[in-house]
A and B are shown apart, each in its own frame.
Chain A
Amino acid sequence: MSGLRRGSVCLGLCLVAALTANAQTDAPSRRSGYHDMGKPLQAMQDDDMANPGMLWVGEGANLWNQRFAAADKSCADCHGAVQSMSGVAARYPAFTAGSDQPVTLEQRINLCRTQNQRADRLADGSRELMALTAVVAHQSRNQPIAPPDDPRLRPFIAAGEALYRLRQGQLNLSCAQCHDDNAGRKLAGVTIPQAHPTGYPIYRLEWQSLGSLKRRLRNCLVGMRAEPYAPDAPEYVQLELFLMDRARGLKLETPGVRP
């Protein structure tokens, strides 16, 4: 009996020690979720003919050249070939002219839609917005994530980190407890990735569609039985800023494939 007691106390203390040790060693080997997938899914992502996300990239390339009635301007009329977007996705979210908040790549594209093309704002997660985001981000494939060294971003990154470490929901879990402390272990048979936003927008088999990082974060919040943030909430941008900063140097894969 007393042996069992002591066991339980040690279990508690040892776990605390392990968690603190984890917090101190600064993520020894960072790896994209790509490496946590089976070979068949990796092969699907690697082969442009098999990667379903390339359909959206193709659609995005068409939209890039499409003119809109009001301004009669296509993205290409102002920006030239879509290849001019090389490196852009690697440094978003960022501050942009006319906004006092950092914006995501999707939000930046929508600013061009409404202000420069004088077209309607594309709905969150809509096929057109995903396609345009995919073709723009695809131009940075294989480039290292490189958040801008902009001091104005620091409070937003810090806010994102606080959210990442907050225990929330009915299950009382934080993002960090899964993605830092237990990455590589199995949650109901699924390997927990380190949560680096390397592939977005991703084609997720479970969605049978291309989707944004925001959508992926909502999935995790629902899994924790936490209230998802409102669709336009700044929390998603803060989390994205923190995750991009944390993934600095890892290569973009857009369009990523994930289970």
Chain B
Amino acid sequence: MGNAVHAEDGLRPYRIVGDAIPAPLTGEAGDPERGRAIVANRRVGMCLRCHSGPFPQERFQGTLAPPLTGAGSRWTEKQLRLRIVDAAQLNRDTIMPPYYRTDGLERVAKGFAGKPILSAEQIEDVVAFLATLKDQ
């Protein structure tokens, strides 16, 4: 995995160290409340299509991936950041979409071409929210 700087057109560069991205993409910590809304939103975060989590008001959640509950105990913020930015860096065959990558994708629909799924600010908000999901 090494210690590489990733830079793509229009995206903020970041450095991977081991299995993590140590520094926030924006240079500052995100907002967990906004992060919660992004994760729960079917069109923005889309996380609950595959994951379940502590969202009692959301009736339809996924079973394609581990529950998000406890993610903040299992992983550090730095590790969570790489998992959201580009989970394929850890598991080439993952079905978890690359939330902050635009290269190496095929036949992207016109409205989404050249854009990451989430902005750098949104990634930091999601990371901040996941870090609050501790095991009870």
Contact = CB atoms under 8 A, between A and B. Distances in A.
Interface residues of B toward A: which range? 35 or more
A188 B97 contact: no
B117 interface: yes
Interface string A164-179: 0011111111000110
A16 B92 contact: yes
Interface string A1-25: 0001101110110011001000000
Main secondary structure of the interface of A (DSSP, over half): mixed
Nearest to B66: A11
B90 A170 contact: no
A186 B64 contact: yes
B112 to A, nearest CB: 4
A170 B61 contact: no
A187 B109 contact: no
Contacts of B94: 12, 15
A121 interface: no
A171 B19 CA distance: 22
Interface residues of A, number: 34
B64 A185 contact: yes
B126 to A, nearest CB: 16
Interface of B: 18-19, 42, 46, 48-50, 59-64, 74-76, 79, 88, 90-95, 97-98, 105-110, 112-113, 115, 117
The 3 A-B residue pairs with the shortest CB-CB distance in the complex, in nearest-first order:
A189-B60, A12-B91, A171-B97
23 contacts: A4-B75, A4-B76, A4-B79, A8-B19, A11-B91, A12-B90, A15-B94, A166-B106, A168-B107, A169-B105, A169-B112, A170-B112, A173-B95, A181-B95, A182-B64, A185-B62, A185-B63, A186-B61, A186-B64, A187-B50, A188-B60, A190-B60, A226-B108
